[in-house]
Amino acid sequence: MGAEGLAGLVGQEGAVRALSAAAAHPVHAYLLVGPPGTGKRAAALAFGARLLCPSGGEDGCGTCQRVLRGAHPDFVVLEREGPAITIGQARDAARMAAMGPMEARRKVIVVPDLHLAREAAPALLKTIEEPPPSTVFIALAEFVPPELATIASRCVQVEFRPLGEEELAGALMAEGASPEQARALARLSQGRLDRARLLAGDPEAVARREAWESVPSRLDGTGRTIAQLAKELLAMLERSAAPLLARQEAELAEVAAREAALVTTNGRPARGRPASRAAAKELEDQHRREQRRQRTEELRAGLAALAGAYRDRAVAGTLAVARAAEAVALVDRLSADLAYNPGELLALEALFVRLSRLGTGPLA
């Protein structure tokens, strides 16, 4: 599984080579850096499986499958519970590292969203800098902010790149999409294969992008229009979660079926039932994180389309370059602020008020 999992990362040949080579003689910490949706989490799973597997992940053994299911005691994912990794979570990581492995030769601790560590950075630095020899850290980050430069310097960095439209379209066609659908989804997915796959089941994806692109021409300086625009876009945002929710329902049904199979014929629970319940709880927690992530990513995609609409107007000469640049800066600022969970409705309305002040009347 480990080898196949790494090899299955589309468009990340450099990262695959680096991690495959590292698996034989791992060091204490790795930092996988790249935009969201480029395969960092899947790579961390596959790499972790190879590090824990007694056969190097080459034979699809039970160890690898347990890592994939999140059921291996020596593979730990330190998920953040709020907008940032906390000092308490950093201390938890230190305690888990100090405990050592339970079954395998080493313990693997994955730290997603390292770029959001903020005040936890000093505590994480001490742990990552000098972990026990039996512990390997795998940190994931969209980028390396200045306050985390020291941590990054203590890790082997592996870069993940966004995919080009042709690469995305090719991968989607290999999975059964028509050439026309594959090209349309590739344009909407911002270099992300996971997003392209999700959008494949979203009939409103194109209309949603067009709605964001229409914002500059609809702003007329009135509060009524601003409120209406914000409500319309957030309603579309709510509906965009439908494909994800459908997939999650299927996953929960599969877990429920497995748990039902663990009940013996006399109605007594089998020995594996508590573990199954724990796996179901972990899956529910994972689903909530996926829902939050999907909502933020979809909102960012809409804001990217809005910024692109202003850039297009500048190129076409229908909007002064200076005004377009100011508009794009306002949009980009809100996109960056989404990491800190601002109130969506108020944030959008405030953005549209500022965009309206760049000029009166339609901006098309």
pLDDT averaged over 10-residue windows placed end to end, the chain, 364 residues:
63 91 92 89 90 69 73 84 81 86 89 86 85 90 89 93 89 89 85 84 88 94 94 95 89 76 54 56 81 88 92 90 93 86 88 84 40
157, β-bridge pairs = 31
Say how far apart CA 91 and CA 86 lie, in whole Å: 9
340: exposed, middle or buried (C-beta count within 10 Å: 0-12, 13-18, 19+)? exposed
DSSP state letter for 162: P
Q: At residue 230, what is the residue type?
A: A
pLDDT at 261 (0 to 100)? 66
Residue with tokens 């790579």: 43
Q: Which two tokens stand for residue 316?
A: 């076409």
pLDDT attached to residue 277 = 63
Largest CA distance in the chain: 77
Contact 171, 191 (CB under 8 A): no
pTM: 0.66
Q: According to the model, what pLDDT value does residue 57 have?
A: 57
Instruction: For residue 361, give both structure tokens.
Output: 């009347």
Q: Are strands 29-33 and 135-141 parallel, antiparallel or unpaired?
A: parallel
Q: What region does 317 belong to: left with phi over 0, alpha with psi -120 to 50, or beta?
A: left
pLDDT at 265: 47
Running DSSP on this structure, what letter comes out for residue 137? E
Q: State the pLDDT at residue 239.
A: 93
In the chain the beta strands, taken as DSSP E runs, fall at 29-33, 75-77, 107-111, 135-141, 156-159
